Amino acid sequence: MGEERDECQGVAAGGRFWAVSGYGTEGQGRFVGAAEWYDAEAGTWTREEGLGEAGGATCVWMSGGRMWSLEGGGGVGGVREYEGSGKGWREVAPLPGMMRPCAAAAVSCAGERVFVVAAQ
């Protein structure tokens, strides 16, 4: 990758491998709002802004050929779908009020339902 990313979220979506959010060792715990995706044909990484929440943890996963994100907590944030480069995210559902931000969550998709296991 073009930059160091501790605790980033990796996901394959849209024919690309994405490394979303994370932080450099010197910025311990300060998550960045950018991502990088890998172009296997060119052998290059491209940085893309706005895929993670700057300063907060992000959980990203792939389902149904689309990329999804879980961000925020305490009634703020929600489940979002990535609409593509330059378009950003579209919020599709709020988070339950008892959820708090977390660097990782277990996500399972079953049809139209998403099950999330995370810290409370």
Does the residue 3 lie in any domain? no
Could you report the per-residue pLDDT of 61-97, keeping only the tens digit for each? 777 777 777 765 444 567 788 877 777 778 887 776 6
Does the residue 36 lie in any domain? yes
Does the residue 110 lie in any domain? yes
Enclosing domain of residue 17: 9-117
Chain position carrying tokens 């990203």: 60
Does the residue 24 lie in any domain? yes
pLDDT reported for residue 30: 79
Cα–Cα dist 96/119, whole Å: 12
Cα–Cα dist 46/59, whole Å: 20
Does the global pTM surpass 0.75? no
Cβ(80)–Cβ(90) under 8 Å? yes
Q: Give the range among 2-11, 81-90, 100-109 with minimum mean pLDDT.
A: 100-109
The total domain count for the chain is 1
Does the residue 93 lie in any domain? yes
CB atoms within 10 A of CB 31: 24
Cβ(78)–Cβ(92) under 8 Å? yes
CB atoms within 10 A of CB 11: 22
Does the residue 2 lie in any domain? no
